[in-house]
Amino acid sequence: MTRGMTDPLERIAAALDRLAPPPPASDDATAHPAYVWRDGALIAARAFAPLPLDLLIRVDKQKAALGENLRRLAAGSAAQDVLLWGARGTGKSALVKAAIGAVQGEGGDVALVEVTALDALPRLFAALAPVPRAFALFLDDLGFDAPAEARILRSLLEGGAEARPGNVRLLVTANRRHLVPRDIEEQSSAINPRDSIDDQLALADRFGLSLGFHALDQDGYCAIVAGYAARFDLPFDAAEAINWATRRGSRSGRVAWQYVTELAGRAGRSLG
């Protein structure tokens, strides 16, 4: 009787297994400059084309610090996990990609791996640990919806059972240095306000290298536009560039790039 009841369920389960697509096969972890971690597999990025490092201006200290850290990682020396924090659109993500590209151009064997979910990290760590290559895991625009998520990352960064292997370091961008929003931590540690402050700092303190990015003034914004325009031989009007930023409510490297993209489009040119 029991067998007759379970056989149809087993047949249904088997049929569903046959219909489900097989997990993707990972690409060669030693062959490509950049990857994305998707559905449990390491997939080569279709087009890794970072900006030249010299196009990123007004962030010279950040460039120098991140570049040196990545060179150490590529050489197998001790290197830090990195938090890049600050105002939106100020070049954090662009610098990560550009610095990786620059170190690769110097012959450094370090690959970028873009990761979109924290719970994927332990499995990714296990996949990358035996590979004879350095990897910079890129978590862009990181934020948390619950305190437990922040504690998971803290454990992965330092002291947990699933701590990341020696050939892997994390590069995390965020719009704020204190990654954990105040209201979330206050809900979890309301008994003692000091506990809330300490918990907010605890995650940021796990990063050995913390690089701040700050909002641009008008001169800085125009300098970035001028640099992009000169690189692509595009004439521009400073007043129009400022008006472009004003209408978007932001002066940033991202807005400057969008304006230069508009100039290139008007001229029938490509920036690729």
Residue 211 DSSP symbol: E
For residue 54, the SS3 value is helix
What does 87-138 look like in DSSP terms, one character per residue?
Answer: STTSSHHHHHHHHHHHHHHTT--EEEEE---GGGHHHHHHHHTTSSSEEEEE
Q: What ranges do the domains of the chain cover? A: 34-213, 218-266
Residue 142's pLDDT is 80
For residue 71, the SS3 value is helix
Residue 222's pLDDT is 93
Residue 257's pLDDT is 92
pLDDT mean for each 10 residues of the chain (272 residues): 57 65 82 94 92 91 97 96 90 95 97 91 93 96 68 70 83 76 50 49 80 90 92 92 92 91 92 78
Residue 164's pLDDT is 80
Residue 261's pLDDT is 94
H/E element, 11: helix 2-19
What distance in Å separates the CA atoms of residue 156 and residue 164, rounded to the nearest whole number? 6
Q: How far is CA 270 from the centre of its chain?
A: 26
- Residue 123's identity, in one-letter code, is R
H/E element, 241: helix 238-248
What size, in residues, is the chain?
Answer: 272
Residue 147's pLDDT is 62
Q: Does domain 34-213 have CATH number 3.30.450.90?
A: no
